[in-house]
Amino acid sequence: MTTALITGASSGLGAEFARQLADQGHGLVLVARDRERLERLASELRSRCGVEVEVLAADLTDQAQLSAVVGRVADPARPIGILVNNAGIGLLHDFDRNPLEDEVRHLRLHVEATMSLCHAALGAMTARREGRIINVASIAAYLPRGSYSAAKAWIVSFSRWANMHYRREGVLVTALCPGFVHTEFHERMGMTKQFIPPFLWLRASRVVREGLLDNLRGKAVSIPSRRYKAVALLSHVLPRRLLVGPRRRPQR
C-alpha cells in the first residue's frame, strides 16, 4: 500500500479520509495546525489499523510551514501516493464586511496551498507514473456566493484540467464537491445550522467513501448524493440572480 498525505486531518472530512484510508491499509501523513488532535488520531489509527502514521503540524497559510509540507510531498525517498487537499475555512460575513487579511488568508489556504501541494505531488507522481490527488472543493463552486465559491470554483476548474492532462501519465485528479456535511466546519465559522433543512445534510463517511471511489474510477469531479448533483445541473440553467442568495444583514 502507498502513503497518503491529508491536510486538515484533525477533524471532519480530513479525519474521515484518514480513517477510511487507514482501513484500506495505507500509511498516513496527517497535516493540520492542532498537533494534539493529530496525535490522538494517529494513536487511534496505529492501534486499530496497524499502519504507520506521521504527524506534521503546520499552518498552511504560513509560507514557511507550507514549504515544509511541500517538501514532504516532494520527497522521493518517502513517496506520497495519495494527496488529499482538504484543509479549508469559511468566512461568516459578506466580502465587504470581512477584514481583508481574513480574505487573503482564506485565498491562501484554498488556492495557494492546494496549488503548491499539487505542484509538488504531480512532479513526484508523474516521475513514478502513478498517483492520486483529491482536492476537496464544494457544491458552492457551482453557485455565485462570494470568495468562498470563487476559490472552490478554481479548485474544480484546475482539477478538471489536471485529471485530463495527467491521467495519461498515471495520475488521477478529482475535485470532491459536497454540500452541507455534519462536521465542525460551520460551528468554527460561527454559522448557525438551524435554518438548514435536515435533508440537505450529508454524513462525512458517505462523502469520503464516494470521493475515494470516484477518484479510483478516474472521475474529474465527484458530487456526493443525487440532491447535490441536481443542484449542479440546475446551476447551469437557472438565472444567476436566483443563485446569488440574499445579502447578509449586519448583526446588531
Mark whether 148 is an active-site residue. yes
| 53 within 8 A of 39, measured Cβ to Cβ | no
Q: Which three cell numbers stand for residue 239?
A: 438565472
- Among 24-38, 87-101, 166-180, 209-223, the least confident range: 87-101
pTM, two decimals, is 0.89
pLDDT at residue 21 above 90? yes
Residue 131 β-bridge partners: 171
pLDDT in tens, 53-91: 999 999 999 999 999 999 999 999 999 999 999 999 888
Q: Confidence class of residue 250 from pLDDT cuts 50, 70 and 90?
A: very low
- Tally of CB atoms within 10 A around 230: 11
pLDDT at residue 92 above 90? no
Mean pLDDT of 175-198: 69
The torsion angles phi and psi of 246, rounded to 5 degrees, stand at -75, 150
The torsion angles phi and psi of 70, rounded to 5 degrees, stand at -55, -45
Q: Which three cell numbers stand for residue 49?
A: 489499523
- Among 29-38, 158-167, 197-206, the least confident range: 197-206
pLDDT at residue 226 above 70? yes
Q: Confidence class of residue 240 from pLDDT cuts 50, 70 and 90?
A: low
Q: Which three cell numbers stand for residue 168?
A: 495519461
Q: Compute the distance between CA of residue 105 and CA of residue 151 in angstroms, rounded to an integer.
A: 12
Tell how many helices (H) and how many strands (E) occur in the chain. Answer: 10, 9
Residue 32 β-bridge partners: 57
pLDDT score for 28 = 98
Active-site choice (142, 148, 166, 228)? 148
pLDDT score for 179 = 84
Higher pLDDT, 193 or 109: 109
Q: Compute the distance between CA of residue 86 and CA of residue 58 in angstroms, rounded to an integer.
A: 13
pLDDT score for 8 = 96
